Amino acid sequence: MKKVPDKTRVKRVPQRGIYNKEDIYKILDKEFVCHIGFIHNDIPVVIPTLYGRKDNDLYIHGSMASRMMKTLNEGVEISVAVTRVNGLILARSGFHHSANYESVVIFGKATLIEGKAENIAALKAVSDHIITGRWEEARGPSDKELKATMVLKLPIEEASAKVRTGGPKDDKADYDLDIWAGVIPFTRTIETPIPDEVLRDGIPVPNSVKNYGQEPSTKK
Ligand SMILES: Cc1cc2nc3c(=O)[nH]c(=O)nc-3n(C[C@H](O)[C@H](O)[C@H](O)COP(=O)(O)OP(=O)(O)OC[C@H]3O[C@@H](n4cnc5c(N)ncnc54)[C@H](O)[C@@H]3O)c2cc1C
């Protein structure tokens, strides 16, 4: 097996570390919000934002005026975290309370997507990642909108996942206590879509919306 570099090797509870690309992709594909950490003016900043994964790249987009986008475009080292919480672990002791989760951490430097066609393809990748088929239904980006939008790409190279599953793990002596222990599992519920209050009459619900929640690609 390939040696995991120290930077990305999970040290705390190392048996929860996963480095296989396919498993990392699976977690990234269940979510669409990441938190990006970077240094700005000597201060560590963490900013939540949308992302899309295509092949071995994570695409991030934002306003040309965004501090985050401008800083990332300087080629600084960044760290990206994606988190999915699957349940609360209620142990007998407060100490062993925890959560079931799947998370990914990626390090690296983002690079600017250049060229009109390349930018459109990258924006489509973000859109497709979040809601399949919506790109084709919506009006495409104008030149002015493209000029106002920066798209960056981060290779999924220096990456790790960490996954906790199962029930509480208590101290041996605590199993005799009369204290309830177990898991509160979480699922994400997708509610019925609400049409815009100024939507023109006679516009049917499109497939991307109808299918959201039905397809395996849905983020739930
Ligand atoms: C929803 C959630 C809740 C958590 N709650 C707590 C908590 O309350 N207290 C706590 O101490 N820890 C918690 N963790 C675990 C936490 O993310 C860290 O793994 C842990 O704190 C060890 O941090 P460290 O810097 O010592 O990691 P180290 O093991 O030293 O990290 C080394 C490298 O391993 C990788 N790595 C570490 N953690 C993760 C991760 N979560 N996902 C992917 N790669 C990772 C990174 O590449 C990192 O640079 C939680 C995780 C999640 C997802």
State if residue 99 touches ligand 1 by the CB under 6 angstroms criterion. Answer: yes
Q: How far is the CA of 56 from the centre of ligand 1 (A)?
A: 23
Of all protein residues, the one whose alpha carbon is nearest to atom 21 of ligand 1 is 12
Domain locations in the chain? Answer: 14-168
Please choose, from the candidates 83, 27, 217, 63, the residue with its C-alpha nearest in 3D space to the C-alpha of residue 152. 63
pLDDT per position as a tens digit, 24-34: 999 999 999 99
Question: Does residue 162 contact residue 103 with C-beta atoms inside 8 Å?
Answer: yes
pLDDT > 90? residue 51? yes
State if residue 4 touches ligand 1 by the CB under 6 angstroms criterion. Answer: no
State if residue 60 touches ligand 1 by the CB under 6 angstroms criterion. Answer: no
The CATH code that applies to domain 14-168 is: 2.30.110.10
Task: Tell me what percent of the residues of the chain surpass a pLDDT of 90.
Answer: 95
Mean pLDDT of the chain: 96
Q: How far is the CA of 85 from the centre of ligand 1 (A)?
A: 13
Question: Does residue 160 contact residue 8 with C-beta atoms inside 8 Å?
Answer: yes
Ligand 1 pocket test, pick from 4, 9, 10, 31 with the greatest ligand atom count within 8 Å of Cβ, gives 10
Of all protein residues, the one whose alpha carbon is nearest to atom 9 of ligand 1 is 98
| Separation in Å, CA 152 to CA 30, 76, 121 | 21, 12, 12
Of all protein residues, the one whose alpha carbon is nearest to atom 20 of ligand 1 is 12
**Per DSSP, which regions of the chain are E strands?**
17-18, 33-40, 43-50, 52-54, 57-63, 78-90, 98-108, 111-112, 149-155, 158-164, 182-185
pLDDT per position as a tens digit, 162-210: 999 999 999 999 999 999 999 999 999 999 999 999 999 999 999 999 9
